[in-house]
Amino acid sequence: DVKVTQSSRYLVKRTGEKVFLECVQDMDHENMFWYRQDPGLGLRLIYFSYDVKMKEKGDIPEGYSVSREKKERFSLILESASTNQTSMYLCASSSWAGTPYEQYFGPGTRLTVT
C-alpha cells in the first residue's frame, strides 16, 4: 500500500511567518508534487521534483519554494505567509514504473494564514 504522509493536518500561521510543510512517501517514488486546492479552482500545481535536489516550477510557484534533500521527503516552504495562501495543500508522489504515472496523495494540510 502506497503511503504518503504530511507533517500536519491543520496549521494556523500569522502573516509574514515562514511556514514549512513536509511530505514523506514510503514507496521509493521518483516524482513528488505539491498542489494547492481551492473551492471552484481544483488542484493547481505549485512545484514538482523528479529526483533528489531537482525541482521544477508548476503553474503557481510565486511565494513558495521547495526542498528535496532525500528521495522520500519533499518540503514546501512559504517564505513569508500571506492571507491569500490560506488553502488546502496536497502532496503527491508517483513512480516512473509503468505508464501512465498514477499519483498518490497525502491526507492534506489545511493552512490558515491570519
Partner 1 sequence: EDQVTQSPEALRLQEGESSSLNCSYTVSGLRGLFWYRQDPGKGPEFLFTLYSAGEEKEKERLKATLTKKESFLHITAPKPEDSATYLCAVQAGTYKYIFGTGTRLKVLA
By CB under 8 A, tell whether 97 contacts partner 1.
no
Please state, in angstroms and rounded to a whole number, the distance separating the CA atoms of residues 90 and 34.
Answer: 6
Q: Which of 8, 11, 45, 72 touches partner 1 (CB under 8 A)?
A: 45
Considering only 34, 48, 64, 74, the residue that binds partner 1 (CB under 8 A) is: 48
Q: How far is the CB of 74 from partner 1 (least distance, A)?
A: 14
User: How many residues line the site for partner 1 (CB under 8 A)?
Assistant: 26
d(CA 48, CA 58): 7
Q: Which residues does 7 contact at the CB level (< 8 Å), separation at least 6?
A: 20, 21, 22, 23, 109
Concatenate the DSSP letters of all residues of 82-99 into one string.
-GGG-EEEEEEEE-SSSS
Kindly tell me which residue out of 68, 74, 108, 111 binds partner 1, with binding defined by CB under 8 A.
108
Site membership for partner 1, residue 21 (CB under 8 A) = no
Contact in structure between 111 and 11 (CB atoms under 8 Å): yes
Smallest gap, in angstroms, from Cβ of residue 38 to partner 1? 10
Query: 31-38 and 87-94 as β-strands: parallel, antiparallel, unpaired?
Result: antiparallel
Residues that bind partner 1 (CB under 8 A): 2, 4, 6, 31, 33, 40-43, 45, 48, 50, 56, 88, 90, 99-108, 110
